[in-house]
Structures are given as structure tokens and as C-alpha cells.
Structure 1
Amino acid sequence: MNNKELAEKILELVGGNKNVKSVAHCATRLRIITNNKDEIDVAGIESLEKIKGSFYNSGQYQIILGTGLVNKVYDEFAPLVENPGSQASTDSQKDQKMTFQGAIRIFGDVFVPIIPVLVATGLFMGLRGLVTQEAILGLVGLSPSDIPQQFLLFTQILTDTAFAFLPALVAWSTFKIFGGTPILGMVLGLMLVSSVLPNAYEVGQKVADPLVFFGFIKVVGYQGSVLPAFVTGIIGSKIERALKRKIPDSLDLIITPFLTLFLGLICALFIIGPIFHGVELSVLHIVESLLNLPFGIGGLIYGSFGQLLGIFGIHHILNFLEISMLSQTGWNMLNPIGTCGNIAQAGAVLAVAIKTTSPKIKQIAYPSAFSAALGITEPAVFGVTLRLVRPFVMSMIGGGVGGFLASLLKLRATGMALTGIPGTLLYLNDQLPFYILVNLVAFSVSFALTWFFGYKKDDTF
């Protein structure tokens, strides 16, 4: 079954075009909002080739396909529902009643297109750290002073550009999600990091002063900032949509972009920026304070309970936190602890796969364990551990123990979105042995607890 045939079959089994309200996707899942969930043939969908599982959460029917494949299936699925008789337009998502989980979902939708760029940036940072290590250079008879300045400048372009212009990326994606013109969002985001404004990093280091308007509003650039650009994108897109409804078509091309950028920038610099940049820094400070609790307590808490965020559909908030950490400090403290939770899932599922006498569970559990080891835990969670309950509890304990050690060792990643085995690329420095250690501990604890206490060989779904 090719991707087009799979998309057509999924559409048929979710109740056809008339039952699809909207469709989107994240890194691993096709996410469909339906008019009537009772029309979904869950068993039929989960029996399809390439489908790793499915579940209903946050008002969405989510089908687990895995990284890479989900993009291809979405590209085949979306045109099938994007027609005049369908409600799968962007507007239908924006105009529906907003809930907390719905807001978090939209927040996640904004960051999905940006994450691949930040993954690549994190890898560049990791590789630069590797090739500039004194120990590595010593293997070929070199020292850090032998590295050409031109090479360092080249690597700096690779590692700094995405974060320097992060508000432009965020505003572009937000405009796109909220029905605005993406290029206007891009330009509005670039205005937030204009060279005319004092650089945020220089102001923070007190080598530059903010501009002061009206005697009390301090204005700076928002390099590396996320929340001001996100809110600016929402307001800007709503301004544009309101203008399009009021302005005659003959004047739309001239007046709408002009007023959108003009009013959007006024809101961003004088209202949104000063308020939400402070909110962003406060949230970041709270999270960092939690992770820096003494004796590894923060790592124990997040390592144990972080896995629940995905189940409740609010894990997308982590994207904001990780991006903010990387842009403000250059390090990601959530990644090593969260990775332990993923690897713990792999340990629990592998224990189930080996111990079970059920051919059906073995068929699901073995590939799910491998997937979890690569950082994709949805098949393991929704296909095995959560359905059996006790293995999930054991994975929480294993993740907590691993997170506890990661916190004590003060592990920090150079990027985001890579966990498990691929995540080693974010620790290509003196942290790598400790990264391997904490994940081995998380895996072993979860495997052993599941084997001895969390699963009986004849347990089934």
C-alpha cells in the first residue's frame, strides 16, 4: 500500500470527507478533528499497514505514523479533504470554541514547522563542540589555537542564524496558522530583530541601553525571543483578516499590508513586547528553578511525570520552553531528563515483548521498543504500556531515576527534538559518557521493574 492509498483508506475509515472537520500533523501523528467520533473505525485503522497505533485526545483523532512518513501521508490526505464541501480549512480551526488543550495544540502547530531548523542548528552546535574539543584535536596533533578563524566564523553562521532571527520564524508560522499572509508575518518578525533596535543580548549584558519612548516604555530587539513573536503573530494576523473584510478589493493590495505592518509593529514594540518578554523570562526562570532544585529533585519530578504531558495533549508547551532555553542560554536542560523517560519506555516495552506469551503483543511491543529507543514513544505508550497500566508506572519510575541522575550530573543538550539514541548527537562533548550512563540506568530500572513487578506473561489487552 503506497502513501496515497493509505491516505484514501484512512479517510474512508474515519467516516469520509463529510466527517473530517480539519486535519493537521505533528512530528509523528496525523491529527484529524472529526464531526462525529463515533463514525471512526478505530480497529480498521489500526489494522492498516504502516499504522503504529491511534488514540483520541484533545478533541482530535491522532494516528501514529512516525517521523518522515507522517509528512508524506499528510501531503496525500490534505488534498482529499480540502474542497468546497469540506470544513478542513484553516479558518475552521481558528473559529471554533477555544479550550485550554486546543490552545496548547495550536501553540504546538506553530512550532512544528520550525523544529527541523532548530534540530539542524542543535546538531551543528554539537558537531562544532566535538571538532573544537582539545582532546579530539589532540588526536591529530592540533590544539584549539590551530583552528582557523574563518572556520569558526563559518560554524557560527550555522549555529547562530536560526536563533538570531527566531522571532521571524515564529511570526511567519503563527500568521500561517491563524490565516494571515505568511510573508507579512515574516517581515513583522524581522522588524522585531531589526538592527536599528538595541540588541537584546547586548542590553542584557549592559553594553547597550534600551530605547525609551514616552518616558517609560523601554524598547529593545527581541533576538532569541519566542512569546512576543507568537502573540504578535496572532494579533497581526487578526488585524490583517479584519482589514480584508473592511477594505475594498481594489485597495486591498496597497492598504492591507501597509496597515497590518504599521499597526502590528506598534502593538509589538510598545505593548506586546514589553509585557510578554517579561512573562517569557518569568516562566523560564520558574522552570529552571524547578530543574535546579537540590539533590536532583527537579530531575526526579520531571523524569517521572513528564511522560504524562503527552497523554494529556499538553506536551507542545515544552517546545516553547526548550526553544526559550536554547535562545537565552544556549543549553537545553529539559532534553536529557525527558530522554530518560523515553528510554524508560523502551525498557518497559522490551520487557513486555520478551516476557509475554501473546503473539499479538509481541508483534506490537518489539517494534515499539525500538521506536522508543529512537525517541518516538507514541507506539510504546498508546500501543502497549498505557493499555497494560503497570508497565507505564514502571517506566515512570525508571524515567524518574534517570532524570534524577541527569539533574545531579547537570546534563545539558545543545539542541532539541532529538532524544534516545539519535540524541547522542546533542552531547558530543565531555557530557557524552554521562548521557549514555543516565539512559542505561533509566532503561535498566524500567526493564527490571516491569519484568519482576509490572507484567505477568499471560497479561493481555
Structure 2
Amino acid sequence: MNHVEIAEKLVELLGGSGNVVSATHCATRLRLVIDNEDLVKKEEIDDLDGVKGAFFSSGQFQIIFGTGTVNKVFTHFGPLVGATLEEEDSNKKESHSDAAKKKMNPFARFARTLSNIFVPIIPAIVAAGMLMGLLGMMNTYNWVDPESGLFVLLDMFSSASFIILPILIGFSAAKEFGGNPFLGAVIGGIMTHPLLLNPWGLSDAQPEVLDFLGFGVELLGYQGTVIPVLLTVYAMSHIEKSLRKVIPNIVDLLLTPFLTVILTGFVAMLVVGPLGRALGNGITAALDFVYNTAGPLAGLIFGGLYSTIVLTGVHHSFHAIEAELLVSVGGNFLLPIWAMANVAQGGATLAVFFKTKNNKVKGIALPAAVSAFLGITEPAIFGVNLRYRRPFIGAAIGGALGGFYVVFTQVMANGIGLTGVPMFAIAKDPLNYGIAFLIAIVGAFVATLLLGWKEEGK
């Protein structure tokens, strides 16, 4: 593969360097913001050597090359369109993320904002989830005495991420909303202050009520909560921006943080915090009701529809709900359902690999299937299954069957973000998760072969 030639050809098929507003890449794909999408020759790009699929999504034109290859292509492609991977580039008028958001509808922009806030936090929650899984096995199989120093320390390590979750969210959210990230972390710290009763892990404890100007303020902390701190930091960012407009530069460093923390602190404790808590409790109660009432039927529907939801980009907003569930319900019952939909895409792609006579599709399908089994579905969805349509339907059938089983056996996860094989590390019931894993793959594989598809002419 000649990466220089591919990069040059890409620029031509994208309508020239001037048609590329911004460019970056992730682990497997080039992510491009395009000025005039009508100038993009998608079918010819699909036929380029090394390209595993191309699609418009979330305000971007994304070209799948695969791990390793995408880095080499971008090395030559970036300079041709004036792109850089550096986050802080004084010559750039706006970031790639901002350019992409301008191309999205309001709902997709909202979902992307939540994704940008929670994706950086996922490693902390994954680490905590894996520790919880390890502790669960230690306790179940009596590997270690629960009163031992080792168990107590590991338990402390596992709960830390959830106790300081508002601080992590505060930092990340302030950065996304355009506020000072450290002030966002301070607001998270206020909402988890030691003087406030820590509700995380408690059920019957009652907080003290403080009299403030005739208002009764409950001294109840927000450890482990999500929505209250999101709303509060959003308010903080607007307060900070408004203050910077009116405070003279000479005293900005002193007065803006001082007034921002005071005003936002009152807003958090008196208004936004309690409202956010009520909203978060309402969302989790509604989901818990559906989960316990509809049961496996809910898993069947959500498992079948999740991949379609992925096409809209709305799935990016689910991280916030899943994080709330982890604390309020004690486990994430949505993630196993999403995992079934993802691995089912791999099962459908595997069926295409075995049956297709198109050598290029074969070359794409096998690594795409493996990628889907590891939780990365874009190569399978956009590179293979949507191209033929019926395999995508077959994957939906497999996802529905797997979703039905994980809800029927009440499989939950200790974290967010990991699906496919990696989710075994945070699954509370690895055995039933493994059975559901096979059901989803085999169901999608068989359904795809039965549905069949029309091979491309060339």
C-alpha cells in the first residue's frame, strides 16, 4: 500500500484541500469535517486500496482504514489539507470538535457533548468496575477474608472513583462547556464536601437540615451522582463567562474565580443540585421500572434497535445514564444489552466473510468481525453490513436474542464503556454473559445466512 498516493487521491476525491474544513483521526478512522458534502465521491473512496468503508456521521465524513494504517495515511494526508493533531494550535480558528458540532443537529450536538464529557472519565470507572468484579469473586469463592487488610484496601480503591465522580465530571464538563476545568473540579468538591452526608452506599441515613435565610437546606452530598453536577457546572460556565465580560482585566484573576465559586456554590446547594438529584432519580426509577416490568422483552427490543440508534449518534448520551445507574441501582443493566448488539454485528459480518466471493469484502469482513467482538463496531456496520443491508438486519436479530437472554438472566456490569470480549472483566455474571455472547453471534450469523444478500456487480 502506497500511503502517499492514497493520501493524494483522497484529497482529490474529497473535492480538494479547500473542501476539508478540519481533519483528525481516531484508532481506526480518518474523521473529516467537509464544507460541501456534494463534492465528495464516496463510492470511489470506498474502492481505494486500504479503505474498509466510508460514511457520514455526527457531522463528519469518516473513512475506515484500521488500526496502524490510519496513522500512516494521516501522516501524509494531514499536511495536504493543513491539519494537525495538536490540540492547542494558535493558527487554527477552531478545533475539530467545534467544526464537527456545527454540522450536527441540536440533538446530535447534545449527545456529542455528553460523550466528550464522559469518554475521558471511562478509564477511572472501568478500573473501579474491574476491582469490584475482583472483590466479588474474592468474596464468593472465599479467596480472602473480607475483614483482611487486603480486602479492605481493595474495597477502598474500588469505591474511590464513584465517591469523587462529581469532581471528575466537574473538571471534564467545565472543559467541554468552555469554563475553567479547575473551577469545575472545585464545584464537584463542594458537592462532595465531608460536611455533607455521603449517600453513596447508604439507604436509611437522614441528613441534617441547615437554616439559610429561612430556607431549609439538606446537608446531603452528591457523591456518585451525575446529573446534578452536570447541570451545576453548566451554570458555572455561564456565570464565569458573564463575569469575565464585565470584570476589568486587571482584577479578573482575583475576582472572577472568587465570585464564580461563591455564586455557583449557592446555586448548587439551593437550586440546581436538588433539581438535578430529582431529575436523576426520576430517570433511573423509570428505567428500573421498565427493566423490572417489561423484563426480557425490553432486552429484546433494545438489543435489536441499539445498532440503529448508533447510526444516529444518540448512543453517545447513554454514558451519563449508565453512570447514574451504577450508583443508584447498584449495577449497569444497559451495557450488557448494548454489548449484545455490538457482537451481533460481528456475527453478521462473519457470515458475509464465509459466503461472499468478493475478495476485497472478504479482506474487510474478517478483521471487522474481530473488531466488533472487541466492542468496536464501525468497520463491521459501515464497511460490510450496511453495504448489503440484510446483514445489518441479521445483526439486529442476533442482538435482540442476546439482549433477551442478558435481561432474562439479569446480567449487569460494574462499569461503562466496555463491550464485547473486554466486558468480561466488568460483568457481574461472566457465565451468563458468555452464553448471551454466543447466542448473539450465532443468532446473527444464522439469520444473515438465511436472509441472504445481493452481491455487488463489481
- Shared fold, TM over 0.5: yes
User: 2:453 aligns to what?
Assistant: 455
Q: Tell me if 1:125 matches 2:124.
A: no
The 8 Å contact of residues 347 and 395 in structure 1, kept in 2 or not, is answered as yes
Task: Tell me the residue number matched to 1:187.
Answer: 186
Q: 1:447 deviation in Å?
A: 0.6
Structure 1 residue 437 corresponds to structure 2 residue 432:
no
Question: Cα gap change, 1:271/1:7 in structure 2, threshold over 3 Å: closer, same or farther?
Answer: farther
Q: 1:167 corresponds to which residue? A: 166
Q: Deviations over 1:363-389 (max 9, x none)?
A: 111111111111111111111111211
Q: Which residue of 1 aligns with 2:269?
A: 269
Whether the aligned pair in 1 keeps the contact of 2:60 and 2:100 (CA below 8 Å) is no
Point out the more displaced range, 413-422 or 289-298.
289-298
Q: Does 1:88 align with 2:128?
A: no
CA-atom RMSD in angstroms: 3.5
1:219-249 deviation line (CA, Å, top 9, x unaligned): 5211111111112222211222222222222
Cα deviation for residue 8 of structure 1 reads 10
Matched residue, 1:141? none
Shift of 1:350: 0.3
User: For 2:85, what is the secondary structure of its paired residue?
Assistant: helix
Question: Which residue in the other structure is 1:258 paired with?
Answer: 258
The alignment's TM-score, normalised by the length of structure 2, stands at 0.86
Give 3-state SS (helix, strand or coil) of 1:306's partner.
helix
Q: Are the structure 2 counterparts of residues 134 and 97 from structure 1 closer, same or farther at C-alpha, using a change threshold of 3 Å?
A: closer
TM-score normalised per structure 1: 0.86
2:170 is aligned with what amino acid?
A
Q: Does 1:386 pair with 2:393? A: no
Q: Which residue number in structure 2 is paired with residue 115 of structure 1?
A: 122
Q: How much has 1:39 moved relative to structure 2?
A: 4.8
Is structure 2 residue 404 aligned with structure 1 residue 404?
yes
Q: C-alpha separation between the residues in 1 aligned to 2:23 and 2:65?
A: 14
The CA distance in 2 between the partners of 1:80 and 1:221, in whole Å, is: 35
**1:206 and 2:213 aligned:** no
Relative to 1, partners in 2 of residues 1:85 and 1:433: Cα closer, same or farther, differing over 3 Å? Answer: closer
Aligned to 2:221: 221
Q: Are residues 191 and 68 of structure 1, via their aligned partners in 2, closer, same or farther at CA, if it must alter by over 3 Å?
A: farther
Q: Contact 2:59–2:102 at 8 Å: present in 1 too?
A: no
Contact 1:107 1:316 in 2 (8 A): yes
Query: How much identity, in percent, do the aligned residues show?
Result: 37
SS in structure 2 at match of 1:315? helix
Contact 1:21 1:87 survives alignment (8 Å)? no
- Give how far 1:13 is off: 7.1
**2-side partners of 1:451 and 1:119: how far apart?**
36
Which position in structure 1 is the counterpart of 2:157?
158
Aligned equivalents of 1:97, 1:397: Cα separation in 2? 30
Secondary structure of 1:54's partner?
Answer: strand
Report the more deviating stretch, 112-121 or 31-40. 31-40
Partner Cα separation in structure 2 for residue 305 and residue 97 of structure 1: 22
Structure 2: runs of 5+ lacking an equivalent: none
| Distance apart, 1:200 and its partner CA | 2.8
Aligned CA distance change for structure 1 residues 296 and 307 (closer, same or farther; 3 Å) = same
Q: Distance in 1 between matches of 2:169 and 2:187?
A: 10
Residue in structure 1 matched with residue 107 of structure 2 by the alignment: 100
| Residues 90 and 177 in structure 1, CA contact (< 8 A), matched pair in contact too | no
Equivalent AA in structure 1 for residue 135 of structure 2: R
Greater displacement, 199-208 / 107-116: 199-208
CA distance in 2 between counterparts of 1:2 and 1:148 reads 61
Matching residue of 2:177: 178
Instruction: Count residues in correspondence.
Output: 450
Aligned residues of 2:116 and 2:176 also touching (Cα < 8 A): yes
Q: Assess, with a 3 A threshold, how the Cα gap between structure 1 residues 42 and 236 changes in structure 2: closer, same or farther.
A: farther
Alignment of 1:294-443 (within 5 A): 294=294, 296-427=296-427, 431-443=429-441
CA distance in structure 2 between the aligned counterparts of 1:248 and 1:152, rounded to whole angstroms = 54
Following TM superposition, by how much is the alpha carbon of 1:68 offset from its aligned partner in structure 2, in angstroms? Answer: 9.6
* Cα pair distance change 1:448/1:435, threshold 3 Å: same
Q: Deviations over 1:142-185 (max 9, x none)?
A: xx53x552112221232111110111111111111122211111
